[in-house]
Amino acid sequence: MTYCVALLLDQGLVLASDTRTNAGVDQVAIFPKMNVFEVPGERVITLMTAGNLAITQAVINRLREALKLSEGVNLHNVTNMFDAAQLVGDQLRAVYEQDNEHLKNHNTEFSASILVGGQIKGEQPRLFSVYAAGNFIESSHETPYFQIGETKYGKPIIDRVITNDSDIMEAVKCVLISFDSTIRSNISVAAPIDLLIYRSNSFNADCKQRLTESDPYYTMVRQGWSDGLRQVFAGLPNPDWC
């Protein structure tokens, strides 16, 4: 399984993904699920993937191979983020056409979700969620974040804390708590966590971190959140129903 989350804020984007993949309890491995396509000073486009690893790797490889061609549309020359999401959807459809019948023959579902976030010079940062069918939706002022993968455990803290005008570093803290909640409740999600902080109009992806279980800040946030929850819980009065 997977957990990826992306927040679109007034100050920029916060994107994070776990790195665990498993095909059974004894087949656990680490694979990056965050892929950055960057033209420094002009665009940063980040993709985060969930679902069948072979499918999502095929999509990413097709997008990277397109960069080597002298002609055609690719993530380094699309004119806006909507077109970038459309291109990702097109490549998903191409992989579907190539692999779906073979997957059916092996009783395997075509499963893939991709978050596409970033900024191209000339427009504000944007965030999209691309489905397995290749269609997609864009985040809104009312819903400034997307999750894919194992979403339910990490959703409540984001719903309670995040708005468009949230401070970007406060949002990072919220995302890490969201991951801690997910990792505690689901064995199929685990560190290391890949984290990208993108500030609006910076047009570079310099602030990227890989956080392990032993990272000092992540450890402090996890422990502080756990201790704080216990204190708040202990301070609530017991019911007096009987």
The predicted-structure confidence for 41-53, as pLDDT tens digits, reads as follows 999 999 999 999 9
Q: Please tell me the predicted confidence (pLDDT) of residue 24.
A: 58
**Contact (Cβ atoms closer than 8 angstroms) between residue 162 and residue 6:** no
Judge whether 242 lies within some domain: no
For residue 206, name the pLDDT band (cuts at 50, 70, 90). very high
Judge whether 241 lies within some domain: no
> What percent of the chain shows pLDDT beyond 90?
93
Measured between alpha carbons, how far is 138 from 215 in angstroms, rounded to an integer? 33
Judge whether 138 lies within some domain: yes
The pLDDT tens digits for 14-64 are 999 999 887 556 667 889 999 999 999 999 999 999 999 999 999 999 999
Q: Please tell me the predicted confidence (pLDDT) of residue 187.
A: 86
Judge whether 239 lies within some domain: no
- Mean of the pLDDT values across residues 120-135? 98
Does the pLDDT at position 127 exceed 80? Answer: yes
Structure tokens at 202: 């910076």
**Contact (Cβ atoms closer than 8 angstroms) between residue 197 and residue 217:** no
Judge whether 15 lies within some domain: yes
The pLDDT tens digits for 109-126 are 999 999 999 999 999 999
- Give me the domain span that covers residue 220: 3-234
Judge whether 179 lies within some domain: yes
Q: What share of the chain is helix, strand, coil (3-state, %, to 5)?
A: 35, 30, 35
The overall average pLDDT reported for the chain is 95
The pLDDT tens digits for 78-119 are 999 999 999 999 999 999 999 999 999 999 999 999 999 999
Query: Which strand ranges, in their side-by-side order, compose the sheet holding 193-199?
Result: 145-149, 3-9, 12-18, 193-199, 208-211
The pLDDT tens digits for 149-202 are 999 999 999 999 999 999 999 999 999 999 999 999 998 899 999 999 999 999
Q: Structural domain tally of the chain?
A: 1
Q: Please tell me the predicted confidence (pLDDT) of residue 23.
A: 56
- Supply the pTM of this predicted model: 0.95
- Mean of the pLDDT values across residues 58-78? 97
> Which residues does 22 contact at the CB level (< 8 Å), separation at least 6?
1, 28, 29, 188
Measured between alpha carbons, how far is 20 from 198 in angstroms, rounded to an integer? 23
Judge whether 240 lies within some domain: no
**Contact (Cβ atoms closer than 8 angstroms) between residue 192 and residue 212:** yes
Query: Minimal CA–CA distance to 130: which of 161, 179, 91, 182?
Result: 91
SS3 for 150?
Answer: coil
Domain CATH number, residue 20: 3.60.20.10
Does the pLDDT at position 1 exceed 80? Answer: no
Q: Please tell me the predicted confidence (pLDDT) of residue 37.
A: 98
Judge whether 62 lies within some domain: yes
